[in-house]
Structure 1
Amino acid sequence: MRLTSPYSLFSRSLEMMALENPLRPLIHDPYRVLEEMGVRAGATLLDIGCGSGYIAIPAAEVVGQAGHIYALDNDGGKLSRLKRKAERRGLKNLTTILTDAWRINQLNPGTIDVALMFFSLHHFEKKRESLRMAWEKLKSGARLFIFEPIKTRMAGHGTDAGEVLRASAEEGFIHISLRTGLLTYRLELLKP
């Protein structure tokens, strides 16, 4: 039996409240995030660690029927909520994938226009392998965007941008930009 510390339970409860909070769009408006990423009609987007669809649902609306969203998570409950949201909105251009970020065997290499890890990388057991898998699925000239909490400012919750930059460079990504805020950062990477 796996024991969970009270801190861990508290931390997860806080995170779930933040993820499902109706005020969240005031901090990270998903449509603005997609616009800043350059997501347009007809694009194919891979949302790695999509949760219940905070970005995936708006992305499906933005890319339209000419585009497609692959929403990946290892939590079947979150993917079920995402599917229900998509059905209620009549979105047919969204496919959910139940797997870990480092085991995306359902997609062919070089088929994705843009990939996204939106506050999910710090949850991945195998971060380096997850970056490698994103690299494999992206087309040449495509971009990976990573939005993360800054580790030192969130009581250890998050990732170190420098470590992610080094690992992504070793996987072949080119660093385009790093924007750091008070508690979070946004990293833009290019697959040449």
Structure 2
Amino acid sequence: MSHKSKLEKHLGFLTDLGEFRFKRWLDANAYKFLMDVGVGVGQKVLDVGCGSGTYTIPAAKIVGESGIVYALDTSRQVLDRMEERAAREELRNVVRVDGGEIDDRFEGSSIDHVLLIDVLQEIRDRGAMFDGIYRVLKPGGSVIVYPMHMAAEDVIEIALKKPFSRVEKKFGGRILVFRKTRVDEPDT
């Protein structure tokens, strides 16, 4: 192994370490993060791959009683834990959604924000996922992505093949925010 390869390997480890530190910070500061990316009172949020509710619970607190957070995950066990957390916090605006697809259970053009926090690497058909997201987002709605285990450029390429515009990179470029750019015909 050459010296350059050893150095590249070492730097890759440091990059990974930095991402893990950022993810830990993001998890610990989910409320602030969600406020910073535009989640607000009365909105509807879809948390894809919600897990035990790291972002679902703070989002539900932010949107308040007049808003709704849909918590989507393929694991019943983590959804059970998320529901227990929501019940402990007395949050009645969290809706459990079993499964991994954005399908007809969601009304078209009804969601203000979709969260994809460290989950895209688990999704087989990312293009279909972005199609579903586009269908359910309100005009001007946002997709908030933290691609911890994917290259940001790959996510940008997938999203921009759909009718999304990249609004900005936040938190040192680690968070990508895309917006729905055009209004479709009403769903029938």
Given the two structures, how large is their TM-score scaled by the length of structure 1? 0.78
Corresponding position of 1:190? 179
Equivalent residue number for residue 93 of structure 2: 93
- Residue in structure 2 matched with residue 160 of structure 1 by the alignment: 151
Residue 173 (structure 1) aligned with residue 158 (structure 2): no
Tell me the secondary structure at the aligned position of residue 104 of structure 1. coil
Structure 1 residue 25, shift from structure 2 partner: 4.8
Residues 112/165 of structure 1: CA separation in 2 closer, same or farther (3 Å cut): same
How far did 1:180 drift? 6.8
Q: Is the 8 A contact 2:45 2:113 kept in 1?
A: yes
Change (3 A) 1:119 1:28: farther
Question: Residue type matched to 2:177 in 1?
Answer: E
Instruction: Output the CA distance in 1 between the equivalents of 2:44 and 2:26.
Output: 26
How far apart in 1 are the matches of 2:96 and 2:26?
26
Q: Between Structure 1 and Structure 2, whose CA radius of gyration is higher?
A: 2
Distance 1:148 1:160 in 2: 7
Number of the residue aligned with 1:133: 132
Q: RMSD of the alignment, in Å?
A: 1.9
1 CA distance for matches of 2:47 and 2:113? 9
Partner of 2:14: none
More deviation, 24-33/59-68? 24-33
Partner of 1:45: 45
Counterpart residue number, 1:107: 106
> Within 2, Cα distance between the matches of 1:129 and 1:33?
27
Q: Which residue of 1 is the match for residue 118 of structure 2? A: 119
Aligned twin of 2:142: 143
Distance (Å, rounded) in 1 between the aligned partners of 2:89 and 2:27: 23
- Offset at 1:179? 4.0
Q: CA deviation at 1:27?
A: 6.1
| Distance across 1 between alignment mates of 2:27 and 2:100 | 27
How big is the shift at 1:31?
Answer: 0.7
What is the CA deviation profile of residues 151-176 of structure 1, one whole-angstrom value per residue up to 9, with x for unaligned ones? xxxxxxx1121121111111110011
Deviation at 1:26, TM superposition (A): 6.7
Q: Which runs of 4+ in 1 moved over 2 A?
A: 23-28, 178-181
Q: Provide the rounded CA distance (Å) in 2 between the counterparts of 1:130 and 1:86.
A: 26
